[in-house]
Amino acid sequence: MDRMQRILSLVPYLLDARRPVPFAQIREEFPGEYEGADEAAERKFERDKAELLELGVPLRFVKTEDGEGYELDRSAYYLPDVGLTPEETAVLYAAGAEALSSGAFPLATDLQHALRKVGYPGTGAPAGEAGVRFHAEVGAAGGGAVGEVLPALWGALAARKAVTFEYRSPHRPAVETRKADPWGLAMRRGTWTLVAFCHQRQALRSFQVGRMLAVQVNAQRPRSADYDIPADFRVDDHVAHHPWGHRFHAPLEVTVELRGPLSALWERTLPGARKLEDGADGRARVALGVTYLDGLCRHLLSLAPNARVVGPDGAAARYRELAHASAARHPAGGAP
Protein backbone atom coordinates (compact mmCIF):
# COMPACT_ATOMS: atom_id res chain seq x y z
CA MET A 1 0.00 0.00 0.00
CA ASP A 2 1.50 3.37 -0.84
CA ARG A 3 1.43 6.29 1.58
CA MET A 4 -1.41 8.20 -0.10
CA GLN A 5 -3.49 5.06 -0.36
CA ARG A 6 -2.94 4.35 3.34
CA ILE A 7 -3.71 7.90 4.48
CA LEU A 8 -6.88 8.07 2.37
CA SER A 9 -8.01 4.62 3.54
CA LEU A 10 -7.84 5.75 7.15
CA VAL A 11 -10.72 8.13 6.39
CA PRO A 12 -13.45 5.60 5.44
CA TYR A 13 -12.08 3.17 7.99
CA LEU A 14 -12.43 5.60 10.89
CA LEU A 15 -15.71 7.08 9.58
CA ASP A 16 -17.07 3.54 9.72
CA ALA A 17 -15.99 2.85 13.30
CA ARG A 18 -18.73 2.83 15.96
CA ARG A 19 -16.33 3.38 18.84
CA PRO A 20 -12.83 4.85 19.30
CA VAL A 21 -10.22 2.67 17.58
CA PRO A 22 -7.03 1.94 19.54
CA PHE A 23 -3.76 2.10 17.62
CA ALA A 24 -3.19 -1.64 18.17
CA GLN A 25 -6.35 -2.37 16.18
CA ILE A 26 -5.35 0.01 13.38
CA ARG A 27 -2.01 -1.83 13.13
CA GLU A 28 -3.81 -5.12 12.90
CA GLU A 29 -6.29 -4.01 10.24
CA PHE A 30 -3.66 -2.27 8.11
CA PRO A 31 -1.27 -5.24 7.96
CA GLY A 32 2.25 -4.41 6.90
CA GLU A 33 1.65 -0.67 7.21
CA TYR A 34 2.70 0.08 10.77
CA GLU A 35 5.29 -2.63 11.29
CA GLY A 36 8.43 -2.69 13.36
CA ALA A 37 9.09 -1.44 16.86
CA ASP A 38 6.11 0.12 18.64
CA GLU A 39 7.70 3.52 18.81
CA ALA A 40 8.62 3.66 15.12
CA ALA A 41 5.15 2.43 14.14
CA GLU A 42 3.48 5.04 16.31
CA ARG A 43 5.65 7.77 14.85
CA LYS A 44 4.61 6.69 11.37
CA PHE A 45 0.96 6.83 12.37
CA GLU A 46 1.48 10.26 13.94
CA ARG A 47 2.84 11.53 10.62
CA ASP A 48 -0.21 10.16 8.81
CA LYS A 49 -2.45 11.75 11.41
CA ALA A 50 -0.71 15.13 10.99
CA GLU A 51 -1.26 14.92 7.24
CA LEU A 52 -4.96 14.14 7.76
CA LEU A 53 -5.34 17.09 10.13
CA GLU A 54 -3.76 19.36 7.53
CA LEU A 55 -6.33 18.12 5.03
CA GLY A 56 -9.09 19.23 7.39
CA VAL A 57 -9.91 15.71 8.62
CA PRO A 58 -10.82 16.19 12.31
CA LEU A 59 -9.17 13.02 13.60
CA ARG A 60 -8.63 12.98 17.36
CA PHE A 61 -7.68 10.74 20.23
CA VAL A 62 -10.48 10.30 22.78
CA LYS A 63 -11.14 8.46 26.00
CA THR A 64 -14.76 7.43 26.41
CA GLU A 65 -16.79 4.79 28.23
CA ASP A 66 -16.45 2.67 25.09
CA GLY A 67 -12.69 2.75 25.44
CA GLU A 68 -9.89 4.94 24.19
CA GLY A 69 -8.55 5.41 20.72
CA TYR A 70 -8.90 7.42 17.54
CA GLU A 71 -12.19 8.86 16.44
CA LEU A 72 -13.39 10.59 13.31
CA ASP A 73 -16.73 12.22 13.99
CA ARG A 74 -18.88 12.03 10.86
CA SER A 75 -20.77 15.23 11.59
CA ALA A 76 -17.50 17.09 12.07
CA TYR A 77 -15.96 15.59 8.91
CA TYR A 78 -18.63 15.94 6.25
CA LEU A 79 -19.26 19.36 4.73
CA PRO A 80 -22.92 20.06 5.48
CA ASP A 81 -25.16 21.31 2.69
CA VAL A 82 -24.17 24.98 2.52
CA GLY A 83 -27.39 25.83 0.68
CA LEU A 84 -25.90 28.39 -1.72
CA THR A 85 -28.28 29.67 -4.39
CA PRO A 86 -27.07 29.42 -8.01
CA GLU A 87 -26.52 33.20 -7.97
CA GLU A 88 -24.45 33.03 -4.77
CA THR A 89 -22.38 30.20 -6.22
CA ALA A 90 -21.83 32.15 -9.44
CA VAL A 91 -20.71 35.31 -7.65
CA LEU A 92 -18.48 33.38 -5.24
CA TYR A 93 -16.95 31.59 -8.20
CA ALA A 94 -16.42 34.91 -9.96
CA ALA A 95 -14.65 36.28 -6.88
CA GLY A 96 -12.44 33.20 -6.68
CA ALA A 97 -11.70 33.19 -10.40
CA GLU A 98 -10.72 36.87 -10.27
CA ALA A 99 -8.44 36.30 -7.29
CA LEU A 100 -6.76 33.34 -9.00
CA SER A 101 -6.43 35.00 -12.40
CA SER A 102 -4.95 38.14 -10.82
CA GLY A 103 -1.80 36.04 -10.38
CA ALA A 104 -1.28 37.61 -6.96
CA PHE A 105 -3.29 35.97 -4.23
CA PRO A 106 -1.58 34.74 -1.08
CA LEU A 107 -3.77 31.67 -0.54
CA ALA A 108 -4.16 30.58 -4.15
CA THR A 109 -3.91 26.85 -3.37
CA ASP A 110 -6.38 27.00 -0.48
CA LEU A 111 -8.73 29.06 -2.62
CA GLN A 112 -8.63 26.46 -5.36
CA HIS A 113 -9.51 23.70 -2.90
CA ALA A 114 -12.28 25.80 -1.35
CA LEU A 115 -13.78 26.50 -4.78
CA ARG A 116 -13.84 22.77 -5.51
CA LYS A 117 -15.87 22.29 -2.36
CA VAL A 118 -18.17 25.21 -3.20
CA GLY A 119 -18.63 23.80 -6.66
CA TYR A 120 -19.43 20.42 -5.22
CA PRO A 121 -23.22 20.93 -5.31
CA GLY A 122 -22.59 20.93 -9.03
CA THR A 123 -24.55 23.90 -10.30
CA GLY A 124 -21.84 24.24 -12.90
CA ALA A 125 -22.22 28.01 -12.71
CA PRO A 126 -19.79 29.52 -15.18
CA ALA A 127 -17.42 32.18 -13.91
CA GLY A 128 -17.97 35.55 -15.50
CA GLU A 129 -21.75 35.40 -15.20
CA ALA A 130 -21.55 37.68 -12.19
CA GLY A 131 -20.36 40.52 -14.41
CA VAL A 132 -17.64 41.66 -12.04
CA ARG A 133 -13.93 41.64 -12.69
CA PHE A 134 -10.99 42.59 -10.54
CA HIS A 135 -7.79 43.67 -12.19
CA ALA A 136 -4.74 43.82 -9.93
CA GLU A 137 -1.65 45.64 -11.10
CA VAL A 138 0.69 42.71 -10.71
CA GLY A 139 4.35 43.45 -11.19
CA ALA A 140 3.53 46.85 -12.65
CA ALA A 141 6.06 48.62 -10.49
CA GLY A 142 8.90 47.70 -8.19
CA GLY A 143 10.14 44.75 -10.20
CA GLY A 144 9.29 42.15 -7.57
CA ALA A 145 7.44 38.95 -8.45
CA VAL A 146 4.28 39.57 -6.38
CA GLY A 147 2.67 36.28 -7.39
CA GLU A 148 5.63 34.30 -6.04
CA VAL A 149 6.33 36.41 -2.98
CA LEU A 150 2.76 36.48 -1.62
CA PRO A 151 2.39 32.74 -0.89
CA ALA A 152 5.77 32.76 0.89
CA LEU A 153 4.73 35.76 2.99
CA TRP A 154 1.40 34.17 3.83
CA GLY A 155 3.11 30.93 4.81
CA ALA A 156 5.45 32.87 7.09
CA LEU A 157 2.58 34.88 8.55
CA ALA A 158 0.39 31.83 9.22
CA ALA A 159 3.29 29.98 10.90
CA ARG A 160 4.61 33.18 12.60
CA LYS A 161 8.06 32.83 11.05
CA ALA A 162 10.41 35.79 10.48
CA VAL A 163 11.38 36.73 6.93
CA THR A 164 14.42 38.41 5.42
CA PHE A 165 14.16 40.21 2.11
CA GLU A 166 15.65 42.90 -0.05
CA TYR A 167 13.60 46.05 -0.28
CA ARG A 168 13.79 48.46 -3.16
CA SER A 169 12.16 51.70 -2.01
CA PRO A 170 12.06 54.73 -4.29
CA HIS A 171 12.62 56.83 -1.16
CA ARG A 172 16.06 55.32 -0.58
CA PRO A 173 19.02 55.21 -2.92
CA ALA A 174 20.08 51.59 -2.43
CA VAL A 175 18.41 48.21 -2.07
CA GLU A 176 18.27 47.35 1.64
CA THR A 177 18.21 43.99 3.36
CA ARG A 178 15.51 43.80 6.01
CA LYS A 179 14.44 41.28 8.61
CA ALA A 180 10.84 41.45 9.80
CA ASP A 181 8.03 39.54 11.51
CA PRO A 182 4.98 39.53 9.19
CA TRP A 183 1.85 40.64 11.05
CA GLY A 184 -0.60 41.19 8.23
CA LEU A 185 -1.22 41.35 4.49
CA ALA A 186 -3.65 43.77 2.89
CA MET A 187 -4.71 44.61 -0.63
CA ARG A 188 -5.68 48.23 -1.22
CA ARG A 189 -6.37 49.88 -4.58
CA GLY A 190 -4.84 46.92 -6.38
CA THR A 191 -1.61 46.87 -4.37
CA TRP A 192 -0.57 44.29 -1.75
CA THR A 193 1.09 45.63 1.39
CA LEU A 194 2.85 43.67 4.13
CA VAL A 195 2.57 45.11 7.64
CA ALA A 196 5.46 43.72 9.65
CA PHE A 197 7.52 44.33 12.74
CA CYS A 198 10.85 45.51 11.34
CA HIS A 199 13.84 44.26 13.32
CA GLN A 200 16.07 47.19 12.27
CA ARG A 201 13.53 49.88 13.14
CA GLN A 202 12.05 47.97 16.12
CA ALA A 203 8.61 49.15 15.00
CA LEU A 204 5.72 48.22 12.71
CA ARG A 205 6.39 49.16 9.09
CA SER A 206 4.49 48.75 5.83
CA PHE A 207 6.20 47.25 2.80
CA GLN A 208 4.81 47.15 -0.73
CA VAL A 209 5.00 43.50 -1.73
CA GLY A 210 5.93 44.50 -5.30
CA ARG A 211 9.12 46.09 -3.97
CA MET A 212 10.26 42.98 -2.06
CA LEU A 213 12.89 40.73 -3.57
CA ALA A 214 14.62 37.51 -2.51
CA VAL A 215 12.18 36.71 0.31
CA GLN A 216 13.50 34.02 2.66
CA VAL A 217 11.36 32.50 5.38
CA ASN A 218 13.21 31.43 8.54
CA ALA A 219 13.54 27.67 8.11
CA GLN A 220 14.78 27.03 11.66
CA ARG A 221 12.32 25.13 13.84
CA PRO A 222 9.46 25.32 11.31
CA ARG A 223 6.83 24.04 13.73
CA SER A 224 7.40 26.65 16.43
CA ALA A 225 6.42 30.32 16.15
CA ASP A 226 9.15 32.99 16.11
CA TYR A 227 6.83 35.68 17.49
CA ASP A 228 3.26 36.47 18.53
CA ILE A 229 0.81 38.87 16.98
CA PRO A 230 -1.22 40.81 19.58
CA ALA A 231 -4.84 39.64 19.72
CA ASP A 232 -6.14 43.17 19.06
CA PHE A 233 -4.03 43.67 15.92
CA ARG A 234 -6.04 44.34 12.77
CA VAL A 235 -4.17 44.87 9.53
CA ASP A 236 -6.94 47.24 8.40
CA ASP A 237 -5.76 49.74 11.04
CA HIS A 238 -2.38 50.02 9.30
CA VAL A 239 -3.16 50.38 5.61
CA ALA A 240 -4.97 53.27 3.96
CA HIS A 241 -7.92 53.13 1.61
CA HIS A 242 -7.28 56.70 0.43
CA PRO A 243 -4.21 58.92 -0.03
CA TRP A 244 -5.08 60.99 3.04
CA GLY A 245 -5.44 57.90 5.23
CA HIS A 246 -1.74 56.96 5.56
CA ARG A 247 -0.86 57.29 9.21
CA PHE A 248 1.90 59.88 9.01
CA HIS A 249 0.67 62.34 11.65
CA ALA A 250 -1.97 62.72 14.36
CA PRO A 251 -5.59 62.79 13.12
CA LEU A 252 -6.59 66.22 11.90
CA GLU A 253 -10.05 67.37 10.84
CA VAL A 254 -9.74 69.36 7.64
CA THR A 255 -12.41 71.48 5.97
CA VAL A 256 -12.54 71.07 2.22
CA GLU A 257 -14.48 73.21 -0.22
CA LEU A 258 -15.79 71.57 -3.38
CA ARG A 259 -17.31 73.49 -6.23
CA GLY A 260 -18.86 73.06 -9.64
CA PRO A 261 -19.82 69.50 -10.50
CA LEU A 262 -17.88 68.10 -7.54
CA SER A 263 -20.03 69.79 -4.87
CA ALA A 264 -22.82 67.32 -5.62
CA LEU A 265 -20.32 64.43 -5.78
CA TRP A 266 -18.70 65.20 -2.40
CA GLU A 267 -19.49 61.80 -0.85
CA ARG A 268 -17.88 59.97 -3.75
CA THR A 269 -14.95 62.34 -4.18
CA LEU A 270 -14.03 62.27 -0.47
CA PRO A 271 -15.32 59.01 1.07
CA GLY A 272 -15.77 59.38 4.80
CA ALA A 273 -16.40 63.14 4.64
CA ARG A 274 -19.23 64.88 6.51
CA LYS A 275 -21.22 67.72 4.94
CA LEU A 276 -20.88 71.02 6.80
CA GLU A 277 -22.73 73.52 4.64
CA ASP A 278 -23.76 74.50 1.16
CA GLY A 279 -22.06 77.80 0.51
CA ALA A 280 -22.47 80.47 -2.12
CA ASP A 281 -22.13 79.71 -5.86
CA GLY A 282 -23.08 76.06 -5.33
CA ARG A 283 -19.95 75.39 -3.28
CA ALA A 284 -20.09 72.70 -0.60
CA ARG A 285 -17.98 72.53 2.54
CA VAL A 286 -17.19 69.16 4.07
CA ALA A 287 -15.13 67.96 7.03
CA LEU A 288 -12.71 65.08 6.59
CA GLY A 289 -10.47 63.30 9.09
CA VAL A 290 -6.95 62.98 7.69
CA THR A 291 -3.68 61.49 8.91
CA TYR A 292 -1.65 62.55 5.85
CA LEU A 293 -2.38 66.14 4.92
CA ASP A 294 -0.06 66.22 1.89
CA GLY A 295 -1.87 63.16 0.51
CA LEU A 296 -5.15 65.06 0.73
CA CYS A 297 -3.69 68.29 -0.72
CA ARG A 298 -2.27 66.43 -3.72
CA HIS A 299 -5.54 64.60 -4.26
CA LEU A 300 -7.42 67.91 -4.19
CA LEU A 301 -4.89 69.51 -6.54
CA SER A 302 -5.65 66.76 -9.04
CA LEU A 303 -9.26 67.99 -8.95
CA ALA A 304 -8.32 71.67 -9.41
CA PRO A 305 -9.95 74.12 -9.79
CA ASN A 306 -12.90 72.33 -8.19
CA ALA A 307 -11.49 71.66 -4.71
CA ARG A 308 -9.31 73.26 -2.04
CA VAL A 309 -8.54 73.11 1.68
CA VAL A 310 -10.07 76.02 3.63
CA GLY A 311 -9.33 75.09 7.22
CA PRO A 312 -7.75 74.90 9.70
CA ASP A 313 -5.32 77.71 8.85
CA GLY A 314 -2.19 75.57 8.83
CA ALA A 315 -3.76 73.01 6.48
CA ALA A 316 -5.14 75.70 4.16
CA ALA A 317 -1.68 77.28 4.07
CA ARG A 318 -0.11 73.95 3.09
CA TYR A 319 -2.62 73.55 0.26
CA ARG A 320 -1.87 77.10 -0.97
CA GLU A 321 1.85 76.39 -0.80
CA LEU A 322 1.52 73.28 -2.99
CA ALA A 323 -0.82 75.06 -5.43
CA HIS A 324 1.64 77.93 -5.79
CA ALA A 325 4.53 75.47 -6.18
CA SER A 326 2.62 73.74 -9.00
CA ALA A 327 1.89 77.08 -10.68
CA ALA A 328 5.52 78.20 -10.26
CA ARG A 329 6.68 75.07 -12.08
CA HIS A 330 4.61 76.13 -15.06
CA PRO A 331 5.33 79.82 -15.60
CA ALA A 332 3.82 81.61 -18.59
CA GLY A 333 6.20 81.77 -21.52
CA GLY A 334 6.87 78.09 -21.93
CA ALA A 335 9.18 75.43 -20.64
CA PRO A 336 12.86 76.25 -20.28
Partner 1 sequence: MKPATTTERLRRLLVLVPTVTQRPGIHLDDLARALGCTRDEVLSDIQLMQLVGRPPFQPSELVEFAVEDDKVYVALDQRLKKPPRFTAAEATALTAAARLIYPAASDVLGSALGKLEKALGASVRTQAEALGRVLDATQAAPPDAGRVGQAVRERRELRFDYFSPERGAVRRRTVQPLELVFQRGHWYLAALCLEANEERWFRLDRARDVALGGRTFPPGPPRRSALPPSPWGRGDVRVRFSRAVAAWAQEQFGPGSVTVHPDGSAEVQLDVDSEAWLVGWVLSFGGEAELLSPESVRRNIARAALASLE
d(CA 127, CA 98): 9
Is there binding between residue 249 and partner 1 (CB under 8 A)? no
Alpha carbons 305 and 259: distance in angstroms, whole number: 8
> Least CB distance from residue 27 to partner 1, whole Å?
11
**Which of 42, 68, 137, 166 is the binder for partner 1 (CB under 8 A)?**
137
- Tell whether residue 32 is a contact of partner 1 (CB under 8 A): no
Nearer to partner 1, 68 or 88 (CB): 88
Strands 191-198 and 59-64: unpaired
Distance from chain centroid for Cα 88: 22
Q: Is 170 in the site for partner 1 (CB under 8 A)?
A: yes
User: What is the Cα–Cα distance from 259 to 279, expressed in whole angstroms?
Assistant: 9
Determine, following the binding rule CB under 8 A, whether residue 94 of this chain makes contact with partner 1. yes
**Residue 280 found at the interface with partner 1 (CB under 8 A):** no
Looking at residue 18, the DSSP 8-state letter turns out to be S
Per CB under 8 A, 29 contacts partner 1: yes
44, 168, 205, 246: which one binds partner 1 (CB under 8 A):
168
**Buried b / exposed e across 67-85, counting CB within 10 Å, b at 16+?**
eebbbbeeeeeeeeeeebe
DSSP-assigned beta bridge partners for residue 227: none
Phi, psi dihedral angles at 246 (to 5 degrees): -60, 140
Stretch that binds partner 1, among 35-43, 80-88, 215-223, 246-254 (CB under 8 A): 80-88
- Residue 142 falls in which region: left (phi positive, over 0), alpha (psi -120 to 50) or beta: left
**Closer CB to partner 1, residue 56 or residue 289?**
56
> Under the criterion CB under 8 A, does residue 274 sit at the interface with partner 1?
no
Q: Rounded to the nearest whole angstrom, what is the least distance from the CB of residue 67 to partner 1 in the complex?
A: 18
Q: Which residues contact 190 (CB under 8 A, 6 or more apart)?
A: 135, 136, 137
Of these, 20, 45, 70, 98, which contacts partner 1 (CB under 8 A)?
Answer: 98
Binding-site member from 49, 69, 115, 156 for partner 1 (CB under 8 A): 115
- In whole angstroms, the minimum distance from the beta carbon of 154 to partner 1 comes to 7
Per CB under 8 A, contacts with partner 1 among 173-212 are 173, 183-190, 211
Residues of this chain, 34-63, that bind partner 1 according to CB under 8 A: 51, 54-58
- At CA 191, angle to CA 187 and CA 195, rounded to 5? 60
CA 278 – CA 189 distance, rounded (Å): 31
Q: CB under 8 A: which stretch of 38-46, 63-71, 219-227, 260-268 binds partner 1?
A: 260-268
Q: Which of 261, 282, 312, 314 binds partner 1 (CB under 8 A)?
A: 261
Check residue 95 for interaction with partner 1 (CB under 8 A): yes
